[in-house]
């Protein structure tokens, strides 16, 4: 039976209880095209809402929360499979908005999971902010700004041409101005401040103690230490109640919150359109929708900041915006996985899939087909014999590596910097080399910098989808301030990592010298995309197919050692084979510094130590001090 045949049995129009049934009407003479079955899903930090829509019929289902940044791919897959089982019908198109899905690579994670659960069904995926904005009706080509204030807060705008901008959304520690969380936190701080100042607990303070079942203000300390974001946000209810009872402290808190929200929304609008352009501001979130007096205060501020604009509440829940996205996805016949949304403006993703033959790192090694059955001794011998081939392969690229050392040295001499960027093992090795330069060569931390896909967390565990986002690579380059005069090394064992290609493209656009370090001599890079230099030693397949922490990792470490060691040597930080600009930050290194000074000046140990102490343990300064005495 076609899935639509079952629809009348369970679809219902959403009402107060969500149970009123509406049978489908069939015309006898002229059969209209069957209405598509659209599935809109909005996943937030509090709950997931799914709407299955067939014409005028609606089935609504709620499930647990799902913030994309807090779930793994298997968890996301289970979440979608549970929804599919619950809804028990195949949709014609799907729209999904999910908290945390700010970038194309994160949205691609949603599309991949949806493609496994609903194979072949067109799907649009985006953030929950965009679905909320899509749920608001717009008259013609209107500039819109969504103002969201619930537990957290942020603003999300879209101009008439479709360009978007997000203002805020940094979380409760860095942002969330005008949110329930901030209102609750300000209330706690105000309560204890006025208790200290006046010697009496305010009416707002008494309300908070009562609702928290605390006996005295001192107990607020322990409660606040254990409270989470939602616990603090829940206190906003008492602030609004106190304000209605004319509590001046509560009124001042809410006045400040309303002004903050309005200013942020106006700033968001200014990033998209001219100050004179009218904007449709849409109020969303529990704080704004459940507190009409507060919403009116926000609207009054907005009308002063943006004359001629309109302010309207979001009249239907945000999941309807996901339904609208499903309609658009069906019209454009998007594939659930190969959605145009997944392509970055840098072009890094598409380039990474069209670079010639497969990388040797992904090929099976003919000598390790029976690796799992080898004795420990035989396996060790095979691994070490493969490692023996690495130096020769690196020497095969010595001219290019030598050119890279020249570029890096010249950059350092002219005040430039060296950047590494990579994902996984490649990224960790770049960060490692960068972190070892300050103690080894007394360089400032900004002189050599490592960038890893997924950020700091990726140093010790995998970050889902991080390496697949070229836009994230480009943004990392932008916010590190890479510029002309710098050298930028992208490290990708296969030569295909989208994050690295996005970073290389942005670094080149900013005028830096760009180097791709990889182990795929088969790369065919278009001239327009080609970095300044490509270093690709032919180390062959890995013993474990695709495990680039093995030979590729060893080769990467060797080459990065060459880059920084030779460049620092040419800067005068080495004499003979001694590090004369090291940072003696512990007892072992101070003893080494004494030996270095002794070796180079002939001073005895006591004299070398005294010179170092007088020079602040700067080896080069101590050497200069002793040489002047001669």
Alpha helices by DSSP H, listed for 271-389, are 286-290, 292-305, 319-331, 348-352, 376-388
The set of long-range contacts for 304-308, using a CB threshold of 8 Å and a minimum separation of 24, is: 305/262, 305/263, 305/266, 306/266, 306/269, 306/275, 306/278, 306/279, 306/281, 308/276, 308/278
Q: Which one, of 124, 543, 171, 504, lies nearest residue 352 by Cα? A: 504
Catalytic-labelled residue, pool 436, 478, 542, 599? 436
User: 362 in helix, strand or coil?
Assistant: helix
Buried b (16+ CB within 10 A) or exposed e, 421-436: bbbbbbbbbbbebbee
User: Among this protein's residues, is 57 annotated catalytic?
Assistant: no
Cα separation, 238 vs 224, in Å, equals 16
For residues 351 and 529, the answer to whether their CB atoms sit within 8 Å is: yes
Task: Show the tokens assigned to 229.
Answer: 């974001």
What number of other Cβ atoms are within 10 A of residue 311's Cβ? 22
- Count of Cβ atoms closer than 10 Å to residue 38 Cβ: 24
- What is d(CA 340, CA 108) in angstroms, rounded to the nearest whole number? 10
Q: Name all contacts of 23-32 with Cβ < 8 Å and 24+ positions apart.
A: 24/54, 24/55, 24/57
Strand partners, 97: 42, 126
Catalytic residue from among 467, 506, 542, 599:
467
How many other C-beta atoms lie within 10 A of the C-beta of residue 361?
Answer: 24
**Active site annotation includes 446:** no
φ and ψ of 67, to 5 deg: -95, 125
Tokens for 545, please give them: 């197919």
Structure tokens at 522: 């088969």
Q: Two tokens at 398?
A: 């010595």
List the structure tokens of 437.
Answer: 């330069």
Helices (H) and strands (E) in the chain, counts: 23, 17
Q: What is the DSSP string of 115-137?
A: HHHSTT--EEEEEHHHHHHHTS-
**172 SS3 class:** coil
Residue 335 has a CB neighbour count (10 Å cut-off) of 15
Q: The dihedral of CA 395, 397, 399, 401: what is its sign?
A: negative
Cα gap 501→468, rounded to integer Å: 10
Beta carbons within 10 angstroms of residue 121's beta carbon = 21
- Burial code (b: 16+ CB inside 10 Å, e: under 16) for 268-293 equals bbbebbeeeeebbbbbbbbbbbebee
| Positions marked active-site | 436, 467
């Amino acid at each position: 039976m076609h899935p639509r045949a079952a629809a009348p049995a369970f679809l219902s129009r959403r009402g107060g209880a969500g149970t009123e049934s509406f049978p489908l009407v069939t015309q006898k003479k002229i059969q209209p095209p069957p209405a598509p079955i659209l599935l809109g899903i909005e996943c937030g930090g509090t709950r997931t809402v799914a709407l299955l829509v067939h014409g005028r019929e609606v089935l609504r289902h709620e499930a647990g929360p799902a913030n994309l940044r807090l779930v793994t791919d298997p968890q996301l897959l289970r979440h979608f499979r549970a929804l599919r089982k619950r809804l028990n019908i195949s949709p014609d198109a799907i729209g999904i908005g999910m908290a945390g899905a700010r970038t194309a690579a994160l949205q691609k994670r949603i599309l991949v999971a949806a493609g496994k659960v609903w194979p072949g069904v067109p799907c649009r995926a985006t953030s929950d902010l965009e679905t909320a904005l899509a749920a608001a009706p717009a008259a013609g080509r209107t500039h819109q700004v969504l103002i969201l204030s619930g537990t957290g807060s942020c603003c999300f705008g879209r101009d008439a041409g479709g360009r978007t901008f997000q203002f805020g959304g940094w979380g409760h520690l860095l942002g969330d101005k005008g949110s329930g969380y901030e209102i609750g936190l300000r209330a706690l701080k105000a309560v204890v401040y006025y208790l200290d100042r006046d010697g009496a607990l305010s009416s707002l303070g008494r309300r908070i103690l009562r609702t928290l079942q605390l006996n005295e203000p001192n107990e607020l300390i322990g409660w606040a230490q254990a409270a989470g974001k939602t616990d603090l946000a829940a206190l906003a209810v008492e602030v609004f109640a106190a304000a209605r009872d004319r509590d001046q402290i509560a009124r001042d808190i809410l006045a400040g919150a309303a002004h903050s929200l309005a200013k942020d929304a106006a700033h968001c609008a200014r990033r998209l359109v001219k100050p004179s352009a009218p904007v449709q501001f849409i109020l969303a979130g529990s704080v704004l929708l459940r507190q009409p007096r507060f919403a009116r205060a926000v609207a009054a501020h907005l009308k002063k900041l943006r004359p001629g604009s309109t302010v309207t509440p979001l009249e239907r829940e945000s999941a309807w915006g996901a339904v609208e996205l499903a309609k658009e996805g069906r019209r454009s016949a998007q594939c659930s996985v190969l959605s145009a949304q997944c392509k970055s403006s840098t072009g890094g993703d598409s380039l990474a899939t069209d670079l010639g033959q497969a990388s040797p790192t992904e090929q099976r090694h003919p000598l390790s087909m029976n690796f799992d059955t080898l004795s420990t001794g035989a396996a060790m011998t095979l691994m070490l014999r493969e490692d023996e081939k690495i130096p020769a392969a690196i020497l095969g690229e010595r001219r290019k590596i030598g050119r890279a050392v020249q570029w890096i040295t010249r950059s350092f001499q002219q005040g430039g910097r060296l950047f590494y960027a990579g994902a996984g093992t490649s990224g960790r090795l770049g960060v490692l080399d960068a972190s070892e330069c300050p103690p080894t060569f007394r360089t400032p931390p900004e002189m050599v910098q490592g960038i890893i896909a997924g950020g700091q967390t990726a140093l010790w565990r995998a970050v889902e989808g991080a390496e697949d986002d070229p836009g994230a690579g480009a943004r990392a380059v932008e916010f590190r301030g890479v510029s002309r005069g710098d050298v930028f090394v992208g490290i990708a064992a296969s030569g295909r990592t989208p994050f690295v290609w996005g970073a290389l493209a942005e670094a080149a656009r900013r005028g830096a010298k760009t180097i791709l370090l990889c182990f795929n001599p088969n790369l065919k890079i278009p001239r327009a995309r080609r970095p300044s230099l490509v270093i690709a030693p032919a180390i062959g397949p890995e013993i474990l197919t695709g495990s680039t922490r093995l030979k590729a990792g060893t080769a990467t470490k060797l080459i990065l050692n060459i880059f920084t060691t030779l460049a620092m040597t040419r800067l005068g930080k080495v004499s003979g084979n001694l590090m004369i600009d090291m940072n003696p930050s512990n007892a072992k290194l101070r003893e080494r510094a004494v030996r270095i000074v002794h070796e180079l000046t002939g001073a005895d140990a006591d004299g070398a130590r005294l010179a170092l102490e007088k020079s602040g343990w700067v080896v080069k300064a101590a050497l200069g001090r002793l040489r002047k005495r001669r």
